[in-house]
Amino acid sequence: MKLYKTGQGILLQFKEEYYVLQHDWDKLINRDNLYAFLLEEYLSGKKITTTQAEEWLREYLLPPIGSQEVWAAGVTYLRSRDARMEESKDTGGADCYSRVYEAERPELFFKALPHRVVGHLQSVYIRKDSAWNVPEPELALYINSAGAIQAYTIGNDMSSRSIEGENPLYLPQAKVYDKSAGLGPCLYISEQPIPIETGIHMTIHRNEVKMYEGNTTLKQMKRLLPELVSYLYRETDFATGSFLMTGTCLVPPADFTLQANDVVTISIDSIGTLVNYVAVKGSI
Ligand code: DO4
Ligand code: MG
């Protein structure tokens, strides 16, 4: 089932039908067994017509986040390791990527507070001081305050390859800035963990011409999802839970950089599609 956060209220989608839930978003999602709770809510929920639900989703959709921090894992796929070794080979930073790929401890970094997160059909920014910019399509987890994965969504970990390539210590500047994180369109809540056969797809269009297309599956990931979660929660409490992007496997070729007005479309099986428009701060 899917939960959508909208400016008109929370929508639960189950079996092609929509229900309005009267809850505080953070309290609703931060439960021990969200799936079981939503099943009960659906039985007693207020059903609305598909036409009305579609209007809410079209006009009022918000990113599926409340007060949570967004974190991200890096170099969880071989493709990400190789791309970063390539971009940093002239500046001497390449070694740290091969070491973290092999190490027991994963790379985890702070990505965003909710006010820097954008949702479906909203704009992400590329930095004006960066010459080489890419989206990173990633499975994102919603983990409750007890450390249990409760839901999945789509993450777009916007990144400056030129800034990170210059020096890995510039990672926070390459990764953390206004509108650098996309999440959405919904939370996908399933009874069982998401299968590793789940596909991730990304296209990038410029003036309606396809500039990039890539496909992968979660099977390519070197780490297990609970392994990433256990490191994130080792010494850190998250009162209303947290979001964790789990790393990218799709990296456009080295001669590609995003431009304003590009359209990034990321789909993950069972979850849906997140579309972000690329913009430069100050120009919209
Ligand atoms: O090591 C830098 C960031 C890696 C990352 O964001 C990813 O692999 O997705
Ligand atoms: Mg990433």
pLDDT digits (tens, 9 = 90+) for 19-57: 999 999 999 999 999 999 999 988 887 999 999 999 999
Task: Provide, rounded to the nearest whole percent, the portion of the chain with pLDDT above 70.
Answer: 100
Is 284 in contact with 164 (CB distance < 8 Å)?
Answer: no
pLDDT of residue 92: 82
For residue range 107-142, what is the model confidence (pLDDT) as tens digits?
999 999 999 999 999 999 999 999 999 999 999 999
How confident is the model over 233-238, as a mean pLDDT? 98
Query: Which residue's CA is the closest to the ligand 1 atom numbered 2?
Result: 74
Mean pLDDT of the chain: 96
pLDDT at 73 over 80: yes
Cα distances from 142 to residues 25, 43, 183, in angstroms, run 13, 24, 11
* 71, 81, 84, 160: residue to mutate for ligand 1 pocket, most atoms within 8 A of CB: 84
For residue range 167-196, what is the model confidence (pLDDT) as tens digits?
999 999 999 999 999 999 999 999 999 999
d(Cα 166, Cα 262) in Å, to the nearest integer? 25
For residue range 156-170, what is the model confidence (pLDDT) as tens digits?
999 999 999 999 999
pLDDT of residue 204: 98
In CATH terms, the superfamily for domain 69-280 is Fumarylacetoacetase-like, C-terminal domain (3.90.850.10)
Ligand 1: list residues with CB < 6 Å: 72, 74-75, 80, 84, 107, 136, 157, 171, 247-248
Is 278 in contact with 156 (CB distance < 8 Å)?
Answer: no
pTM, rounded to two decimals = 0.97
**Residue extents of the structural domains in the chain:** 2-60, 69-280
For residue range 244-268, what is the model confidence (pLDDT) as tens digits?
999 999 999 999 999 999 999 999 9
| Of 100, 102, 106, residue with least CA distance to 71 | 106
Using CB atoms within 10 Å of the CB of residue 197, give its burial: 0 to 12 exposed, 13 to 18 middle, 19+ buried. Answer: exposed
Task: Provide, rounded to the nearest whole percent, the portion of the chain with pLDDT above 90.
Answer: 93
pLDDT at 284 over 70: no
How many alpha carbons lie under 13 Å from residue 36 in its C-beta half-sphere? 3
Distance of CA 34 to the CA centre of its chain: 20
Written as six digits, the tokens of 212 are: 């990039």
Written as six digits, the tokens of 14 are: 């189950």
Among the atoms of ligand 1, which is closest to the Cα of residue 107? Answer: 1
How far apart are the CA of 235 and the centre of ligand 2, in A?
A: 22
Report every protein residue that has its C-beta within 5 angstroms of ion ligand 2: 136, 157, 248
